[in-house]
Amino acid sequence: ELTQPPSVSVSPGQTAIITCSGDKLGDKYVYWYQQRPGQSPILVIYQDTERYSGIPERFSGSSSGNTATLTISGTQAVDEADYYCQAMDSGTVVFGGGTKVTVL
Amino acid sequence: QVQLVQSGAEVRKPGASVKLSCKASGYRFTSYKIHWVRQVRQAPGQRLEWMGWIKTDDGGTRYSQNFLGRVTFSRDTSATTVYMELSSLTFEDTAVYYCARRAHIVGAADACDVWGQGTMVTVS
């Protein structure tokens, strides 16, 4: 099971930090998806820290211990969305519960 | 361009079955697994739930324990289409169902980089 905060609020231009925690998460790769309202998810980060093709540099990922983190630096209004972490567990895909990022 | 196009919305009664399709185009169909993921409304938001995958080359499958015995994946390589059939539907199966392609980047094989537009299934 992967645990995320239900919501994060951030002012435009500030930094949004989204965490994802789970048992032995440090032993696994974490992936992050963005889902804007009414749209399908898109892959943002893979292998903990790698930005997927076309993803702006303001998105970054990190991992330490049993917590992975998605950071959005200089958050823009267009970044308002739900964010989901994903990892593997014994060959099955597991998603976090999702975090709604609100840009105030 | 690479895309997955899913079939339209469905309405079913409890106890019935539903079969959804997902047509791939723009890439070599048999090179990438297709996953099925559903999104269920659960206060305070919506959660993603992995259902399993199908290997598009040989039809091999892996199902989530949560759906064992109720879900069947299949594919038609000539039509570059994958199918998902879910039986014994209950109200809790009301959700948006997505198909998604395994990512093509080395190191991202456990992620999905192309998603269908989703199919709404309502059990009512």
- DSSP per-residue string spanning B68-81: TTTEEEEEEGGGTE
* Percentage of the residues of chain B whose pLDDT score is greater than 90: 90
Instruction: Choose among A46, A98, A100: nearest Cβ to B111.
Output: A46
- Looking at residue B107, its pLDDT comes to 82
Quick: pLDDT tens for B64-117.
999 999 999 999 999 999 999 999 999 999 999 999 999 988 888 899 999 999
B102 touches A: beta carbon within 8 Å: no
Residues of A in Cβ contact (< 8 Å) with B113: 43, 52
- Looking at residue B91, its pLDDT comes to 97
**Candidates A8, A18, A40, A70, partner chain B, best to mutate (most B CBs within 10 A):** A40
- Looking at residue B106, its pLDDT comes to 84
- Looking at residue B80, its pLDDT comes to 98
- Looking at residue B41, its pLDDT comes to 87
Rounded Cα distance between B116 and B8, Å, is: 11
CB A16 within 8 A of CB A71: yes
Q: How far is A1 from chain B (nearest CA, A)?
A: 11
Closest A-chain CA to B42 = A97
Residues of B in Cβ contact (< 8 Å) with A84: 48
What are the contacts of B28-32 at 24+ separation with CB within 8 A? B29/B56, B29/B77, B29/B80, B30/B56, B30/B57, B30/B77, B31/B56, B31/B57, B32/B56, B32/B101, B32/B102, B32/B104
B120 touches A: beta carbon within 8 Å: no
Quick: pLDDT tens for A13-67.
999 999 999 999 989 999 999 999 999 999 999 999 999 999 999 999 999 999 9
In the sheet with B71-76, reading across from the earlier edge strand, the strands are B3-6, B18-25, B81-86, B71-76
- Looking at residue A5, its pLDDT comes to 96
The first and second tokens of residue B49, run together, are 């739930």
